[in-house]
Amino acid sequence: MSDSVFKGSLEDDEDSKFGSDTGDDSGLREVDGDTNNGIVSEGKGQDNPIELVTDREVDDDSVAENVKDLNDLSELEIERIGENSATVEPAGEAKQSLPLKQIVQPNLEIVSDGVPEQHTSQSIANIGGEKTLSIVSPLTNITHLKTEESNASSAASSARPRWSSVRDKEVLAAKTEIEKASVSVSDQELHAPLFRNVSMFKRSYELMDRTLKVYVYRDGKKPIFHQPILKGLYASEGWFMKLMEGNKHFAVKDPRKAHLFYMPFSSRMLEYALYVRNSHNRTNLRQYLKEYAESIAAKYRYWNRTGGADHFLVACHDWAPYETRHHMEHCIKALCNADVTAGFKLGRDVSLPETYVRSARNPLRDLGGKPPSQRHILAFYAGNLHGYLRPILLKYWKDKDPDMKIFGPMPPGVASKMNYIQHMKSSKYCICPKGYEVNSPRVVESIFYECVPVIISDNFVPPFYEVLNWEAFSVIIAEKDIPNLKDILLSIPEKKYFEMQLAVRKLQRHFLWHAKPEKYDLFHMTLHSIWYNRVYQIKPR
Q: What is the DSSP string of 134-155?
A: EEEESS---------HHHHHHH
Contact, 144 vs 100, CB < 8 A?
yes
Phi, psi of 431 (to 5 degrees): -80, 130
Whose CA is closest to 464, among 349, 350, 306? Answer: 350
User: SS3 for 406?
Assistant: strand
Pairing of strands 108-113, 130-137: antiparallel
Contact, 222 vs 339, CB < 8 A?
no
Whose CA is closest to 93, among 459, 291, 343, 277? Answer: 343
The residue ranges of DSSP E strands in 362-434, in sequence order, are: 377-381, 404-406, 427-433
220-256 as b/e, with b when 16 or more CB fall inside 10 Å?
Answer: beebbbbbbbbbbbbbbbbbbbbbbbebeebbbeeee
Residue 434 to residue 213: CA distance in whole angstroms = 36
Residue 164 has what pLDDT?
A: 75
Q: State the DSSP H helix or E strand holding residue 101, giving kind and residue range, or none if neither.
A: none
The residue ranges of DSSP E strands in 336-474, in sequence order, are: 350-351, 377-381, 404-406, 427-433, 452-456
Phi, psi of 140 (to 5 degrees): -80, 150
Pairing of strands 130-137, 122-127: antiparallel
- The predicted model scores a pTM of 0.79
Contact, 466 vs 526, CB < 8 A?
no
Residue 363 to residue 235: CA distance in whole angstroms = 10
The residue type at 226: H
Whose CA is closest to 329, among 317, 312, 305, 353? Answer: 312
Whose CA is closest to 275, among 15, 48, 18? Answer: 18
Contact, 95 vs 174, CB < 8 A?
no
H-only helix segments in 90-179: 149-159, 166-179
Residue 126's DSSP bridge partners are: 131
Residues of the chain short of pLDDT 70, as ranges, are 1-159, 541
CA distances in angstroms from 168 to 160, 162, 312, listed in the order given: 10, 11, 16
Whose CA is closest to 274, among 310, 236, 221? Answer: 221
Contact, 466 vs 440, CB < 8 A?
no
Contact, 194 vs 469, CB < 8 A?
yes
125-145 as b/e, with b when 16 or more CB fall inside 10 Å?
Answer: eeeeeeebbbbebebbbbbbe
Residue 147 has what pLDDT?
A: 33
CA distances in angstroms from 59 to 30, 52, 273, 412, listed in the order given: 18, 11, 18, 11
Residue 417 has what pLDDT?
A: 86
Q: Is 307 left (phi over 0), alpha (psi -120 to 50) or beta?
A: left
Task: Report the chain's C-alpha Rg in angstroms.
Answer: 22
DSSP string, 65-88: SS---GGG--GGG--------S--
CA distances in angstroms from 445 to 116, 367, 420, 442, listed in the order given: 30, 9, 11, 5
Residue 471 to residue 469: CA distance in whole angstroms = 6
DSSP tag of 25 = T
